[in-house]
């Protein structure tokens, strides 16, 4: 059922609820557009909330109030306000808003993305930072990543010989998904066969689709038991399928360890997690292990492939920038087919390209929403307990006061400054900041340089027949990750 239809139907039921709801606080909330009775500002979101909310922020300021049903949301849309929320008052704003769908199988009570800051969150964060994504662990996985890049190169090479059109986002997604699966449990889950329809891909696609849809249960908490849009039910189906697949993989690995205790381990992340769970002090159960695997798949695969597609799109639409990137790769790599991780520090223009892609096309335009657990004062405004917080990086990163010619793709702007994307520069926050900054930055840094480099180093590109640069659609589709609305398809030409 369409969201607008459900809202209208629910509104008739909610009239009584509205009059029983406590009225607006007498304290001074941040300014914002007038909310309609019951539904608030829901209809002002449209199908591209990143753009509609940014337009509202331009009118009402860098700290703005919106109401989505009974849910008060404060939107932060300037580097100064982001610093207040993510750094100065990080301890107050560090909890997460939990979407109802992610409560399926109690995922929110295990996921490091959703856990409240506390002892359990610190233990799970330690698993990611010190066990899964530490520098020694990442260095040890270079050969695996290189093999996945070779698979991508071979696929593009075959397509160049046959003149086959490549779906850039799908090729990047398959590469990232296989890299994640090989890194986690030493097995690939999908191949480049154009007709391949694996169970894993279908489950993953359904899960990310459901989790990216607006849900009335989040706007009107009393509707949660009814699940009027069926999103939690669907999430339970897809998440259950994914957890079931991980169950089988873990059971098989435990069986190997029991039957051959003296054999050498595979030394993948699953082995590391299982070793970590055997230490009782770590309090990591098999159920926790499965949900950690979900976090790693969902957080890494969709975002990396989407950023890669945007990067290749922008480069193909700007041949002068593409020529600079290719020239740098040629100078540093010579005749090598692929970018190696040791090459990355020698590629300042490629780094600038990726920073500009992060700026223009953040995969999470509002980051992962936060929730305040106590009343707070920010910039003279009162923010009540349980308010949802959006950090509007989409607006910050396109603010003309910060970025001259903000809609233009200009990697050169980052050759003139030291702005980075690791959470310390509040003009550029694609991964967030503070204690909730994304722990996967080091892996994303390595992966994106190699992925984009593989697409462009030894290949020139032509758009699919009938498409010229002026006809390439660069509209975005709002969801769990900010994808291109229409996938980029092009033909690789061996250079």
Reading the block at residue 229, the tokens are 């849009």
Provide the 8-state DSSP code for 374. S
**Rounded Cα gap, residues 448 and 304, in angstroms:** 7
Beta bridge partners of 370: 96, 389
Does residue 370 sit in helix, strand or coil? strand
**Rounded Cα gap, residues 76 and 87, in angstroms:** 13
Provide the 8-state DSSP code for 88. I
Given CA atoms 52, 56, 61, 67 in this order, what sign does their dihedral have? negative
* Helix (H) / strand (E) containing 463: strand 459-463
Q: Tell me which long-range contacts 465-471 makes (C-beta under 8 A, separation of at least 24).
A: 469/316, 469/317
* Helix (H) / strand (E) containing 255: helix 231-259
**Rounded Cα gap, residues 83 and 89, in angstroms:** 8
**Rounded Cα gap, residues 385 and 212, in angstroms:** 25
**Rounded Cα gap, residues 287 and 76, in angstroms:** 36
**Rounded Cα gap, residues 127 and 490, in angstroms:** 40
List of residues 6+ apart from 46 with CB closer than 8 A: 52
- Interhelix angle 441-456/142-162, nearest 10 degrees: 30
Q: Are strands 388-391 and 71-76 parallel, antiparallel or unpaired?
A: parallel
Distances 168 to 135, 301, 491 between C-alpha atoms, Å = 29, 14, 10
Q: % helix / strand / coil in the chain, to the nearest 5?
A: 55, 10, 35
**Rounded Cα gap, residues 269 and 274, in angstroms:** 9
Q: Is 159 annotated as a binding residue?
A: no
Concatenating the DSSP letter of every residue in 383-409 gives E-TT-EEEE-HHHHTT-TTTSSSTTS-
371, 96 in Cβ contact below 8 A? yes
**Rounded Cα gap, residues 7 and 9, in angstroms:** 5
The distance in angstroms from the start CA to the end CA of the chain is: 49
**Rounded Cα gap, residues 346 and 34, in angstroms:** 52
**Rounded Cα gap, residues 239 and 381, in angstroms:** 40
Q: Residues marked as binding for heme?
A: 438
Which residues are documented as binding site? 438
């Amino acid at each position: 059922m369409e969201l607008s239809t459900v809202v209208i139907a629910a509104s008739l039921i909610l009239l009584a609820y509205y009059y029983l709801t406590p009225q607006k606080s007498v304290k001074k909330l941040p300014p914002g557009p007038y909310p309609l009775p019951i539904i608030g500002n829901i209809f002002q979101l449209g199908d591209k909330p990143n753009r509609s909310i940014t337009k509202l922020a331009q009118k009402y300021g860098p700290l703005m109030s919106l109401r989505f049903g009974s849910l008060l949301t404060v939107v932060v849309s300037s580097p100064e306000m982001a610093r207040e929320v993510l750094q100065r008052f990080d301890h107050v704003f560090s909890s997460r808003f939990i979407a109802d769908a992610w409560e399926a199988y109690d995922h929110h009570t295990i996921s490091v993305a959703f856990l409240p800051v506390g002892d359990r969150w610190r233990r799970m964060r330690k698993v990611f930072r010190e066990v899964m994504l530490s520098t020694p662990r990442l260095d040890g996985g270079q050969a695996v990543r290189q093999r996945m890049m070779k698979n991508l190169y071979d696929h593009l090479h075959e397509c160049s010989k046959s003149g086959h059109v490549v779906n850039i986002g799908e090729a990047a997604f398959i590469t990232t998904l296989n890299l994640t699966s090989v890194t986690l449990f030493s097995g690939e889950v999908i191949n480049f066969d154009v007709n391949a329809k694996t169970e894993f891909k279908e489950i993953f696609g359904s899960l990310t689709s459901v989790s990216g849809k607006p849900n009335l249960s989040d706007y009107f908490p009393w509707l949660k038991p009814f699940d009027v849009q069926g999103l939690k039910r669907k999430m339970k189906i897809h998440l259950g399928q994914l957890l079931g697949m991980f169950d089988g993989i873990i059971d098989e690995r435990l069986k190997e360890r029991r039957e051959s205790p003296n054999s050498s381990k595979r030394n993948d992340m699953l082995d590391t997690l299982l070793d970590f769970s055997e230490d009782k002090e770590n309090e990591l159960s098999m159920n926790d292990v499965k949900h950690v695997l979900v976090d790693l798949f969902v957080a890494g695969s969709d975002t990396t492939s989407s950023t890669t597609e945007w990067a290749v799109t922008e480069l193909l639409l700007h041949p002068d920038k593409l020529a600079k990137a290719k020239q740098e790769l040629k100078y540093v790599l010579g005749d090598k087919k692929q970018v190696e991780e040791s090459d990355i520090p020698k590629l300042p223009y490629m780094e600038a390209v990726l920073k500009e892609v992060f700026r223009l096309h953040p995969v999470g335009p509002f980051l992962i929403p936060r929730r305040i657990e106590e009343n707070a004062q920010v910039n003279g405004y009162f923010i009540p307990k349980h308010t949802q917080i959006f950090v509007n990086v989409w607006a910050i990163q396109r603010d003309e006061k910060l970025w001259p010619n903000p809609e233009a793709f200009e990697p050169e702007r980052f050759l003139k400054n030291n702005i980075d994307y690791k959470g310390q520069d509040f003009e550029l926050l694609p991964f967030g900041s503070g204690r909730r900054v994304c722990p996967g930055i080091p892996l994303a840094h390595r992966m994106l340089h190699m992925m984009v480099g593989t697409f462009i180093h030894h290949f020139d590109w032509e758009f699919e027949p009938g498409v010229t640069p002026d006809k390439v659609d660069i509209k975005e589709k709002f969801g769990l990750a900010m994808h291109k609305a229409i996938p980029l398809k092009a033909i690789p030409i061996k250079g």
